[in-house]
């Protein structure tokens, strides 16, 4: 089976169902006659840049950013807005505090925004640390993130 077809099916599945584990995703694909192993699913999750967000029916579910490079979907913007608690500058650093389990999600959004002032970022469980070129750049990023959140 072609990898691109399997990837398209994975994206379709997670957009319609809450899938919490690799095993659940593997079972869904196998039920649709896509013969896959957990190892294959693990690689697919990495290749598709899937991440986990809080679910409604389940504790977590897989999600993805589905827009082109540098663009953030309305769904991701809403997720970002809902999970960010505070955005503060400290010299050339920007600290984004999030709800527990959403540091990496916030990082994916900030990376996707591709701000010129940002050198890089590191995400933890409930914090995103954004490294900027200098203090002025950090202040500009705080303003941009705050404006992005609307």
Per residue in 121-137, pLDDT tens? Answer: 999 999 999 999 999 99
Angle between helices 3-16 and 22-31 (to 10 degrees): 110
Chain region(s) in the chain for CATH 3.30.1360.40: 74-149
Closest CA to 128 of 149, 85, 97: 97
CATH for 74-149 (3.30.1360.40, 3.30.70.100, 3.30.420.40, 3.20.20.70): 3.30.1360.40
Mean pLDDT of the chain: 89
Is the model's pTM score more than 0.85? no
CA-based torsion, 65, 149, 105, 123: positive or negative: positive
Chain region(s) in the chain for CATH 1.10.10.10: 3-63
Closest CA to 32 of 69, 5, 56, 59: 5
Domain 3-63, classified CATH 1.10.150.120, yes or no: no
């Amino acid at each position: 089976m072609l990898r691109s077809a399997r990837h398209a099916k994975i994206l379709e599945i997670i957009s319609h169902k809450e899938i919490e584990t690799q095993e659940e995703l593997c079972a869904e694909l196998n039920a649709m006659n896509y013969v896959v192993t957990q190892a294959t699913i693990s690689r697919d999750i990495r290749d598709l840049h899937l991440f986990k967000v809080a679910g409604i029916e389940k504790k977590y579910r897989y999600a993805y950013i589905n827009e082109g490079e540098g663009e953030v979907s309305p769904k991701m913007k809403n997720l970002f807005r809902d999970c960010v608690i505070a955005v503060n500058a400290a010299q050339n650093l920007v600290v984004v505090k999030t709800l527990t389990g959403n540091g990496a999600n916030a990082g994916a959004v900030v990376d996707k925004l591709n701000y010129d002032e940002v050198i890089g970022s590191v995400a933890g469980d409930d914090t995103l640390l954004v490294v900027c070129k200098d203090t002025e750049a950090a202040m500009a990023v705080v303003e941009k993130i705050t404006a992005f959140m609307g």
